[in-house]
Structure 1
Amino acid sequence: MRSILIGTVLLSIATAYYIYLALPSTISEPWKLMYVNALIRGMMKLSFVAHHLGLTSPFGLVQYYSAWADVKRIESSTTVRVTEACFGGVEARVFESAAAGQEHSLKRGLVYFHGGGWTMEPYYLQCMTMAEEYRLAPDARFPDQYNDVFQASKCILTAEVVAVSGDSAGANLAALWRNRCEKSKHQISSGPVLQALDFNTPSYQQNAHIPILYRSFVARFWLEYLNGEQKLVPALLANNHTALDQGQEITAAKAKTDWTKLLPVAFQKNYKPVVPLHGDPKLLEKLPGLLDVRAAPLLADMKVLKAVPPAYIMTCEHDVLRDDGLMYATQLEEVGVDVTVDHYEDCFHGCLSFAFGPFGFSVGRRSLGNYIRWLKENL
């Protein structure tokens, strides 16, 4: 009995040690976030271990679980009929009203690209006008995702009624939609990931270990997306790919992501740029997508940025990607695009995904409410 008690106490201490994180006092519902983060962090680490053992891809276990959970939750009901279809060679689920007397008419709509690091779960594009959700292969690599979402959804875009939106990696896919198709009224981005040239912006430094998206995780996602080797994570985090000896092409690209000029002074605080003197000259050969505007929308030229429709950008203070969104907003404002920035001081990455259910957060509900309100007023 005594040994059971001691074991229980030790297990409780170990569990508390694993769950507890020293979080900023301003973050929303910190204890709930700790529990959510423990689950996500545990699943990610198991997936990485399986990868090191040669059993799966870096995010293989997470993909498997996401696919299983998705199959379990998607089914027809008395009010909604769910069927499988194919659009432009991309698998899709079609959601149709099962109620009698529904008239087909043109309605306001939203094409939405879900987050997930391009690779962590089966990728989806959801069109709320047509109730269509497009499923993209989780083992795809850049630029497959970019091309597939355009091919699958271009037929439903109508300038008068449809906006293009996304969160995190989905916001990346949506950011330069105007460059491929002029039929969109607005662009809405939440916690967008828009560049992989600087992993030491102020928000990367400030929020490197803040749930639910760690700085090292972002580098892993980029490498998986760009078909790079995971062993390159330390080099990316050290900005070795943008060292001063990497040539004019990288210098010109870095100028477009210079946060000392693009970020509001209040967000720069006391942080300083991290620019190594010497880097790995082969990094750009291994990862040419780093300089591809389709992967890194912050590298777009002025002509492309001018074509972006009025934009709504949501950023979170406790998010490593905060500065990507703020820099993008500055770029758009400088070329005359109408931009609304909605910044949340108590928010963390992906809070829109935590508006409902057992892991719902008050900031998730608040941000979603403001997001929908903006859509109603502007779409």
Structure 2
Amino acid sequence: MLRLAGAVLLSAAAYYVYLPLPSGVSEPWKLMLLDALFRSFMQAVRGQNLGSLDHSHVIEARSSPAVNVTDSALGGVPTRVFRPIGGEKLKRGVIYFHGGGWALGSGRMRSYDSLCRRMAEDLDAVVMSVDYRLVPEAVFPDQYYDVLAASRAFLSTEVLEHYSIDPERVCVSGDSAGGNLAAAVAQKLGSDDTLKVKFKAQALIYPVLQALDFHTPSYQQNQAVPILYRPVMARFWLQYLGANSSLEPLLLANNHSSLDESGISADIRSKLNWTALLPTKRRKHFQPVVKQTGSPGVVGKVPGLMDVRASPLLAEQDVLGKTPKAYVMTCEFDVLRDDGLMYARRLQDAGVTVTSDHYEDGFHGCMVFASMPVMSNVGQRSMSNYIHWLDQNL
């Protein structure tokens, strides 16, 4: 009887975990397990305040033989500071924004804590991980203002001197929604001629950069690939922009960006025209989904859809040209793949030196989750290459 019960439970667990995945994805069973853990976590907290989820997997600040960790603030925003012990007198400096759809995550999560510890140790760098406000207590542009205030403080003479950071070797970085915020900050501060110190590099990890086209090739190809499903990304966007969740079907159908939406000019559309911005290898057999008639007026109801602070891919070329040299990581099995590839192309066209680091077997979140119990080979590779780029370019 016990054997039968065990077999039933094992079968149920396998049914819950199993997902059909593309053949090229790295270590599919690890991705399935990670997705199952993530789904279980989301179900366990369903109905709770999403803003409270940043305490999941939290560890307290502590010191290690190589890195001292303390909790502080930058520009009034809670920040975890990772300082290497010993090494060079003047350190490199990295300010980091975590991912999580602007609604989840924290620099105190094990995954981000581990990433920042490794960065601090391997780079002999002071790394500052910013805990910006989260949905639903805060919506756009609150998160943007938080990271902008933290970044201005990070670049201040007072902070640079206090932490012995070399002003010639500073970088802004982030993953997913944090990559969105890092790109927006790089644009804003790159165009600010009043700053004495500016970022020398921007490192964007599978960033989310636009919300006008939910039918790019990567959205079509990977809409059912974990851990970031296409409807989930649309939901994150609506929550971030403070919009009604009932608009989700319109976004998923691209009705909000139909040609009868007068608020979207041809110039704006050209900035995310993937038929021109993506190579044939990434376009594959997919066709654009552009509605002649849709739901005009959505942009008026949700102006954040067109705000470059929320959608950095929509920035003007002269703004992009003032941003620092860039590292853009993308993964083949990620709905956000083409956001990153289009942004890398637009940066290059603006004269910015860009390293485009693409992982043919990668999936969304793989780098950050490399430090979790469900470690993947592509996660380890991508983290090592990301840190190597920082080492070579800071």
TM category (shorter chain) comes to 0.7 to 0.9
Residue 373, structure 1, aligned to residue 388, structure 2: yes
- Residue equivalent to 1:64: 52
State the shift of 1:370 in Å.
1.1
State the shift of 1:6 in Å.
5.2
126-135 vs 156-165, which deviates more?
126-135
Matches of 1:44 and 1:78, distance apart in 2: 32
Matches of 1:329 and 1:83, distance apart in 2: 34
- Residue equivalent to 1:115: 99
Aligned residues: 362
Q: 1:325 to 1:94 in 2, by over 3 A?
A: closer
Alpha-carbon contact 2:183-2:312 (below 8 Å) kept: yes
Matches of 1:130 and 1:356, distance apart in 2: 20
> Which of the residues 60, 63, 68 maps onto 1:77?
63
For 2:26, what is the secondary structure of its paired residue? coil
Residue 135, structure 1, aligned to residue 131, structure 2: yes
Residue 93, structure 1, aligned to residue 80, structure 2: yes
Residue type at the aligned position of 2:27: E
Residue type at the aligned position of 2:93: G
Alpha-carbon contact 2:333-2:363 (below 8 Å) kept: yes
- Residue equivalent to 1:324: 339
For 1:295, what is the secondary structure of its paired residue? coil
Deviations 1:111-141 (A, max 9, x none): 2111111112247897954443332222321
> Which of the residues 145, 148, 169 maps onto 1:147?
145
Alpha-carbon contact 2:147-2:185 (below 8 Å) kept: no
- Residue equivalent to 2:193: none
State TM-score, norm by structure 2. Answer: 0.85
Following superposition of structure 1 onto structure 2, how do residues 281-300 of structure 1 map, counting pairs within 5 Å? 281-300=296-315
Matches of 1:108 and 1:92, distance apart in 2: 17
- Residue equivalent to 2:158: none
Matches of 1:249 and 1:217, distance apart in 2: 24
State the shift of 1:307 in Å.
0.6
Matches of 1:193 and 1:8, distance apart in 2: 42
- Residue equivalent to 2:194: none
Residue type at the aligned position of 2:105: E
Matches of 1:222 and 1:45, distance apart in 2: 20
State the shift of 1:322 in Å.
0.4
- Residue equivalent to 1:219: 234
Matches of 1:107 and 1:277, distance apart in 2: 54
Deviations 1:48-98 (A, max 9, x none): x52xxxxx34xx2xx43431422xx1232364554443332222334456x
- Residue equivalent to 2:170: 162
The root-mean-square deviation of aligned C-alpha atoms, in Å, is 2.4
Matches of 2:344 and 2:74, distance apart in 1: 32
Tell me: higher relative CO, structure 1 or 2? Use CA pairs within 8 A at least 6 residues apart: 2
Identity rate, percent: 49
Alpha-carbon contact 1:244-1:251 (below 8 Å) kept: no
State the shift of 1:333 in Å.
1.3
- Residue equivalent to 2:377: 362
Question: Unaligned 5+ residue runs, structure 2?
Answer: 156-165, 191-197
- Residue equivalent to 2:325: 310
Matches of 2:43 and 2:150, distance apart in 1: 33
Matches of 1:175 and 1:167, distance apart in 2: 10
Alpha-carbon contact 1:113-1:173 (below 8 Å) kept: yes
Moved over 6 A (4+): 123-127
Residue type at the aligned position of 1:42: S
Matches of 1:178 and 1:313, distance apart in 2: 13
198-207 vs 115-124, which deviates more?
115-124
- Residue equivalent to 1:39: 37
State the shift of 1:351 in Å.
1.1
Alpha-carbon contact 1:242-1:250 (below 8 Å) kept: no
For 2:139, what is the secondary structure of its paired residue? coil
- Residue equivalent to 2:161: none
Residue type at the aligned position of 1:89: G
State TM-score, norm by structure 1. Answer: 0.88
Alpha-carbon contact 1:123-1:137 (below 8 Å) kept: no
Matches of 1:46 and 1:236, distance apart in 2: 27
Matches of 1:372 and 1:38, distance apart in 2: 29
- Residue equivalent to 1:178: 186
State the shift of 1:224 in Å.
0.9
Alpha-carbon contact 2:107-2:129 (below 8 Å) kept: no
Matches of 2:148 and 2:38, distance apart in 1: 30
Question: Unaligned 5+ residue runs, structure 1?
Answer: 51-55
Alpha-carbon contact 1:212-1:349 (below 8 Å) kept: yes
Matches of 2:222 and 2:251, distance apart in 1: 17
Matches of 1:339 and 1:78, distance apart in 2: 35
